[in-house]
Amino acid sequence: MTTIRPPAVAGLFYPVNAEELTRNIQQLLTDAEQHNLTPKALIVPHAGYIYSGAIAATAYSTLRSVASTIKRVILLGPAHRVAVNGLALPRDDVFDTPLGQVKLDSEAIQAIAHLPQVSINAEVHAVEHSLEVQLPFLQSVLTDFTLLPLAVGTATAETVAEVLEYLWGDDETLIVVSSDLSHYLPYATAQQIDNATVQSILQLRQPITHDHACGGTPISGLIIAAKKHQLAPRLLDLRNSGDTAGTRGQVVGYAAIAFSS
């Protein structure tokens, strides 16, 4: 029997109506600055689309030229609501969004199921938004793909990098790390801190701490993997909620970064 993980934040982080959601994403992709890249990995923010959608679109628009090649997406994001040790897989077979269903990659799951840092935790995935908000973008840009969603809790960069190594694959495999940057700082302070964080990522220096990026652990793991596979990061967009749809008293930072060979 197929088990389905229903959307938890549709209507909150992004439109619940499929037609409205499609229009929203297509407009964001149309407005995004274009970069001529063929990324192996992306770092993408995960706030409500009104806040971070434009930055996310800058990352996802780079996939247009390789959309037909990508058949599997490895998606990592921080566990916000439920504490977990290591990296958590869902118990479901399918993730549902207003744009349709995405099948989980059973072969990829089996490839990492034996690792001690990997577990199955349905509770973590049931309410986690960092992974879910990426799916409508992926569904809008890619043609046909399977998904391996991993919620990252208490883990080290090295254990994340080990998982990525098992899943690295070839050009058919895309890695997406879902992360925002600093949280609830004054605008100018956030700009300063986020610029420093981005420079560390661009120079492939880790660890990236959680107070500078909520997805610091999966970012740090990606940095280790990128160095091993000789990928070069490129900054596509760097803004915060004060630039998009919020006030500037307390802002959240967002970056779009692509890694390619």
pTM above 0.85, yes or no: yes
Q: Scan for tokens 């803004």, then name that residue.
A: 239
Q: Which amino acid would we find at residue 252?
A: V
- Cβ distance 159 to 221 under 8 Å? yes
> pLDDT tens per residue, the chain (261 residues)?
899 999 999 999 999 999 999 999 999 999 999 999 999 999 999 999 999 999 999 999 999 999 999 999 999 999 999 999 999 999 999 999 999 999 999 999 999 999 999 999 999 999 999 999 999 999 999 999 999 999 999 999 999 999 999 999 999 999 999 999 999 999 999 999 999 999 999 999 999 999 999 999 999 999 999 999 999 999 999 999 999 998 999 999 999 999 999
Structure tokens at 22: 């499609």
CA distances from 15 to 71, 140, 177, 179 (A): 26, 14, 22, 20
Please calculate the CA angle 224-226-231 and round it to the nearest 5 degrees. 160
pLDDT of residue 139: 98
Residue 35 · residue 234 · CB < 8 Å? yes
Q: What is the pLDDT of residue 246?
A: 87
Residue 1 is predicted with a pLDDT of 87
Helix (H) or strand (E) holding 138: helix 135-141
| Nearest CA among 57, 2, 7, 1 for reference residue 32 | 57
* Runs of H (alpha helix) within 157-251: 157-167, 187-202, 216-228, 241-244
Rounded to an integer, what distance in angstroms lies between the CA atom of residue 261 and that of residue 40? 8
Domain limits, the chain: 4-260
Residue 219 CB burial class (10 angstroms; 0-12, 13-18, ≥19) = buried
Predicted confidence at residue 208, as pLDDT, reads 98
Q: Find out if CATH 3.20.10.10 is the number for domain 4-260.
A: no
* CA-wise closest residue to 73 among 214, 168, 160, 213: 168
Tell me if the bond preceding 207 is cis, omega within 30° of 0: yes
Tokens encoding 245: 């749809």
Pairing of strands 251-260, 41-44: antiparallel
Cα separation, 30 vs 189, in Å, equals: 31
Task: Supply 255's token pair.
Answer: 């970056």
Q: Which of 51, 240, 71, 36 is nearest to 142 (CA)?
A: 71
